[in-house]
Amino acid sequence: MSRTDVLLRVDDLTVSYGNIRALKGISFDVRDGEIVTLIGANGAGKSSALRAVSGLIPFSGRILYGDRDLSRIPPDGIVRLGIAQVPEGRGIFGNLTVFENLRLATWQRKNKAEVAKDFERVFGLFPRLNERKDQMGGTLSGGEQQMLAVGRALMSRGQMMLLDEPSMGLAPVLVRDIFHTLAEINQAGTTILLVEQNAYMALHIASRGCVLETGSIVLSGTGRELLGNPRIKEAYLGG
Amino acid sequence: MSTVLKSAGRGWREITGNRAFMPSLIVAGFVFSFAAAQFELLDPYVQLILMYVGINIILASSLNLINGYMGEFSVGHAGFMAVGAYTASILTVSVFPGGATFLLFPLAVLAGGLVSALVGLVVAVPSFKTRGDYLAIVTLAFNMIIKSLIENLEAVGGPRGFLGMEKLTTLPWVFFWTVLSVWIIRNLVYSNFGRGVLSIREDEIASDLMSVNTRHVKLIAFVVSSFFAGIAGALFAHLLQYINPRMFDILKSTDILIMVYLGGIGSIAGSIIGATIFTVLLEILRPMGLWRMVLMPLLLVILMIFRPRGIMGLREFRWFVPLHDFLAVRLWRRKKEAADASS
């Protein structure tokens, strides 16, 4: 695949919860090697879009990963196709050790040598996780849990990574660290689809962004364009 | 004094940390159980209690797989026990040739487990479309269905029960099956599959997103759990030499639940302790008559207030954890230290 190939194509995606339409037919694509971010306020439908791609909720429309249609594949199958996930609220297994948390992401993989290599990579990126290897996931601080969530996603070796609000509940310094790491991970070749409320940080590292408002994409462009857009400045960046 | 205690503690850890500790304990236990039965080293009554303890350990640890490790709530364990008990009894009484039942007994027990596992699969497929409270209701209904089904099956005695089994369950056999069950369940829990089971308890959605095939894991765990309930039922039937449907009603399922929660969820050692305390305490309190049925629940309430996770909740004795887990971690550390030292 060359760098400009479309990796993920979302076409006319509609998600409903009962009578409420959370997404009203949005379309966007993510090219290989990019960071694409979906930004927007609470309830704009950002997480619904991500959950649809993960296979967690039913949807209408089309989601293609490469040339595979994701609509009938269960969540674990989607991960196996190469889409690693950082779930909303991190989804750390609190009563399992950091090591076990990381091991779980390799649940379906048989090649132990490769798994060991991935451990080294994650521990290299987050030395803190190595220090806390035998500690229960639930006893980690918020920032460490977020590192664990990202590290765990790396362990599943996806070509692409989906993140749902990695900045949630973190101090500004930690948010900067996490986004710095995401940029590094992207540099190393992982394509990223990022859902964020922290528009400033997200647009800063993103190649492209889409702004969601009440279930529709109202604006899209490169990260820099959106950062400079007066409407965005007013609504999401605090003037 | 404290130094004596400390060195004693260290000595104990050294003994239990030894590679040969568990195997020699098991061999010694087996030899003893055999000798006790053969040469009447133990009072027959004590032997009987020990056999009940063993059967209850199998029941508790297998239910713990679902309720403790996987975090679901199944309340129909006695139903699977009934399936195992009736299957094995029919085999030894009506199918196997008269003289050979003694030799074929292990096969009957295994068959009890397998049929129970099959029924477990049939129950699990629709059950795991539901979760939490709903799963409890489905398994409850299953327990009732099994009981009424047997009550209405004249071929196996209906409500009068089924008899004619020889007393084939002996102390060595119970010891063998208990060790085998506990060993298999422990190895399962500490495997990659077991990690998947734990992750479902912790956060099922996250578990899905970590590539765990949660549907398969739940199904397999439930089938394994039913299998061992069936084994326990088969042993139970050939110990009592008489079974009737009322023995396997909701109350029996509740007893097993109590053993699991008393010992502690998510702990094999807990299930062993819970089953032992429950069985032995009921016997000790026997002179109290009906009052023991008041005292036991009361003890449970007190325990739940002061130790809500049970005696061992989510913990395990160190010497219970598979050795390769230890060795793997130790090896990994040593490698890491060597690498650090060289760099």
Q: Quick check: B207 and A104 CB within 8 A?
A: yes
A-chain residue closest to B191, CA distance? A107
The answer to whether residue B15 is domain-embedded is no
What average pLDDT does this structure show over B186-199? 93
Which helix (H) or strand (E) segment holds residue A40: the answer is strand A35-40
Q: For chain B, which residues lie within 8 Å of any Cβ of chain A, measuring from their own Cβ? A: 192, 195-196, 198-199, 201-203, 205-215, 266, 314
Q: How far is A106 from chain B (nearest CA, A)?
A: 8
Q: Tell me the HSE value of B312 on the side-chain side, using a 13 A CA sphere.
A: 24
Percent of the residues in chain B that have a pLDDT greater than 70, as a whole number: 92
What average pLDDT does this structure show over B275-298? 87
The pLDDT value given to residue B131: 67
What average pLDDT does this structure show over A202-220? 93
pLDDT tens-digit series, residues B98-115:
777 888 999 999 999 999
* Predicted structure pTM score: 0.88
Check if the beta carbon of residue B122 is closer than 8 Å to that of residue B129.
no
B-chain residue closest to A86, CA distance? B209
Q: How far is CA A132 from CA A39, A140, B195, B327, B331, in A?
A: 33, 8, 19, 19, 18
The pLDDT value given to residue B50: 95
When pLDDT is cut at 50, 70 and 90, the band that residue B313 belongs to is: confident
CATH at A88: 3.40.50.300
When pLDDT is cut at 50, 70 and 90, the band that residue B212 belongs to is: very high
Percent of the residues in chain A that have a pLDDT greater than 70, as a whole number: 97
Q: How far is B3 from chain A (nearest CA, A)?
A: 29
The pLDDT value given to residue B315: 76
For residue A221, the cross-strand partners are A209
The answer to whether residue B73 is domain-embedded is yes
CATH at B61: 1.10.3470
B-chain residue closest to A99, CA distance? B329
Q: How far is A185 from chain B (nearest CA, A)?
A: 18
Q: Quick check: A107 and B192 CB within 8 A?
A: yes
- H runs (alpha helix) in B91-213: 101-127, 132-151, 171-189, 192-202, 204-209
The answer to whether residue A1 is domain-embedded is no
The residue segments making up the domain with residue A167 are: 6-236
- Contacts A–B by Cβ distance under 8 A: 75
For chain A, how many structural domains are there in total?
Answer: 1
For chain B, how many structural domains are there in total?
Answer: 1
Question: Which chain A residues touch B210 with a CB distance below 8 Å?
Answer: 76, 79, 85, 104-105, 107, 152, 156
Q: What angle do CA A88, A94, A95 make, to 5 degrees?
A: 155
The answer to whether residue A116 is domain-embedded is yes
The answer to whether residue B297 is domain-embedded is yes
- H runs (alpha helix) in A72-198: 75-81, 98-104, 112-125, 127-131, 142-155, 172-187
pLDDT tens-digit series, residues A101-138:
999 999 988 888 889 999 999 999 999 999 999 899 99
The answer to whether residue B99 is domain-embedded is yes
Tokens of A160: 């692409």
Q: Quick check: B196 and A105 CB within 8 A?
A: no
The residue segments making up the domain with residue B83 are: 43-331
Question: Which chain A residues touch B205 with a CB distance below 8 Å?
Answer: 56, 75, 87, 91
The answer to whether residue B17 is domain-embedded is no
Question: Which chain A residues touch B198 with a CB distance below 8 Å?
Answer: 93, 95-96, 100
pLDDT tens-digit series, residues B170-188:
999 999 999 999 999 999 9
- Dist. CA A53–CA A207, nearest whole Å: 20
The answer to whether residue A156 is domain-embedded is yes
The pLDDT value given to residue B331: 56
Here the ipTM equals: 0.88
